[in-house]
Structure 1
Amino acid sequence: MFPLPEGIDWSGVVDSDADSVELKMLLALDGAPVPTESGRRRGARRVYLLDTPDLTLCRAGVHLRVRRRGTRRDELVVRVRDRGRLNGRRGPREARVELDVLPGSLLRTTELRGVVDPETAAACLDADAPLRRLLSDAQRRWLCTLLGEGVPETVIDELVLHGPLTTHRYRVPRARFAVGRAFLEHCHYPSGRELREVSVKCRPADAPRAAVALARFLADHDIAVADGHRTKTALWIEEICRDVGGAADTDRPLGDRQPVT
């Protein structure tokens, strides 16, 4: 169920310096339902991509995402992904590293999160205050180090909101899944497109067992897997590119960096 990229094996995942591993599987929209905990549906979460109108940051390999949870707990994430790398980029001391394992693909995600003060969030997201104010000092400093050659730091003055991508998240009962924490996520894109994804988050040491358990779980419940797999963000960026008249590279989704040799 999870063929890894050439040159990477499960022992490398186990021994990596990542803080966590998340296994992801895209599901057929018309397939069998995924068992979830009754009464544990979380409220809708709206996610916005923060970038220039023509996605300058994404083209530099950086994502800024604003998560609005409906409880005045807004969160800003600065994130960079390296494709096909187990070890390497760590970012600031407060940053976390996660290996995202998809069928035939592995992404090393480094992100720095910050909860946005409610007054600042309201001023920037609901009024007309500059969106750069959402960034903490640490996030701003790290972002400036991630910008590629030819991208000025003043790009943060041109930020606009793209979205939202609306998601509902459900917990899969632990009794049905013994390793890690399993979730079902149902995403609704601005275009009307939908996506269902089941994921398992675990420690690197538990990743091989989690992969086997996920495959067994899907088989036991006759849950159909979608053809191919794209990340939620890659599909979203494709939609934004169509809206702004640009083109996305389907072989190398914007924001995913190739390994440095």
Structure 2
Amino acid sequence: MGGDDLDRMFTLVREVGHVELKFTIDDASYEAVRAALGGGSERIRNVYYLDTPDLTLRHHGVLVRLRGGQRPNDSVVKLRPIDPGCVPHSIRRCADFAVEVDLTPDSFICSGALKRRLGRNAVERAVDNGEPLRRLFSEQQLLLLASRMPEHLTVDDLDALGPVEVHRTRSRYDGPGGGLELQEWTYPDGSRLLEVSTRCVAEHLLQTAAHAKAFLDRHGIAQSGPCPTKADATLAYFTRQ
């Protein structure tokens, strides 16, 4: 990043306090990253994003995600980008609302996400049976979504784009930020997106980034060039089919 971008990034990180560092991994490094991080616990999730065929929500800075699979399911309404100083107090004080800066080697963005935990199989049951999707969201989530969504749309008008099978493996590597996590997003045609990530507080950003980068270099894990986020890659995949 250039100097001005770095200054803005550090100012935002200090204001928000929480960072997720993300490294998109070149597909040629799949075996290397699996060998380096494959010794930890693995979780499998099925991920859907809700939007219109022309991605109306995404163009309005909204991401709506559903996660099913092995563990208790959840729904998330995420605003990205977001100005943390403009979030209504009623939302910021909600225990399930989190503001975070996503940081890659060449970019950063701030997002705010409101999550609702759901029972097992709630997502697949609703999607497969054609049940109203609004039942998967809390009243606060629906209000947050309505603040960005065009008035003529409701949650039940949205398409469930997916699923993508996501394998999440947390390594036993004990570095700053609580360790590294590998996410493998596999699409229906067999293509995949590989991402290594870790979280930290603002005070540990430089140390955590250096630790993570050194770990990847030590294991011969190559990063790919600039890449869309997992959400944007998934939305693009399912709307061009």
TM bin, normalised by shorter chain, reads 0.7 to 0.9
Give the AA of the match of 2:186.
H
Q: Secondary structure, in 3 states, of the residue corresponding to 2:224?
A: coil
Corresponding residue for 1:169?
Answer: 168
Corresponding residue for 1:112?
Answer: 114
Which of 196, 206, 221 is the equivalent residue of 2:219?
A: 221
Structure-to-structure mapping, 1:1-261, within 5 angstroms: 3=1, 6-9=4-7, 11-18=10-17, 20-31=18-29, 33-34=32-33, 35-36=36-37, 38=39, 40-42=41-43, 44-71=44-71, 73-82=72-81, 87-90=84-87, 92=91, 93-94=93-94, 95-117=97-119, 121=123, 124-147=126-149, 151-152=150-151, 154-175=153-174, 177-243=175-241
| Cα deviation digits, residues 185-226 of structure 1 (max 9, x gap) | 111023322111111111121111111111211121121111
Is the alpha carbon distance of 1:179 and 1:64 closer, same or farther for their aligned partners in structure 2, counting shifts above 3 Å? closer
The answer as to whether partners of 2:50 and 2:161 remain within 8 angstroms in 1 is yes
Which one has the bigger helix percentage? Answer: 2
Give the AA of the match of 1:205.
E
Aligned residues: 232
TM-score, with length taken from structure 2: 0.85
Is the alpha carbon distance of 1:52 and 1:41 closer, same or farther for their aligned partners in structure 2, counting shifts above 3 Å? same
The answer as to whether partners of 2:13 and 2:19 remain within 8 angstroms in 1 is no
Is the alpha carbon distance of 1:4 and 1:136 closer, same or farther for their aligned partners in structure 2, counting shifts above 3 Å? farther
Q: Secondary structure, in 3 states, of the residue corresponding to 1:224?
A: coil
For structure 1, the residue ranges without an aligned partner over 5 or more in a row are 244-261
Q: Secondary structure, in 3 states, of the residue corresponding to 2:131?
A: coil
Q: Secondary structure, in 3 states, of the residue corresponding to 1:237?
A: helix
Cα deviation for residue 159 of structure 1 reads 1.9
Is the alpha carbon distance of 1:74 and 1:131 closer, same or farther for their aligned partners in structure 2, counting shifts above 3 Å? same
Cα deviation for residue 5 of structure 1 reads 7.5
Is the alpha carbon distance of 1:230 and 1:123 closer, same or farther for their aligned partners in structure 2, counting shifts above 3 Å? closer
Give the AA of the match of 1:170.
T
The answer as to whether partners of 1:52 and 1:155 remain within 8 angstroms in 2 is no
Give the AA of the match of 2:37.
T
221-230 vs 132-141, greater mean Cα deviation: 221-230
Is the alpha carbon distance of 1:89 and 1:221 closer, same or farther for their aligned partners in structure 2, counting shifts above 3 Å? farther
189-198 vs 115-124, greater mean Cα deviation: 115-124
Q: Secondary structure, in 3 states, of the residue corresponding to 1:24?
A: strand
- Measured in 1, the distance between the counterparts of 2:99 and 2:240 equals 31
Q: Secondary structure, in 3 states, of the residue corresponding to 1:162?
A: strand
Cα deviation for residue 69 of structure 1 reads 2.8
Q: Secondary structure, in 3 states, of the residue corresponding to 1:219?
A: helix
Identity percentage of aligned residues: 30
CA RMSD of aligned residues (A): 2.4
The answer as to whether partners of 1:5 and 1:104 remain within 8 angstroms in 2 is no
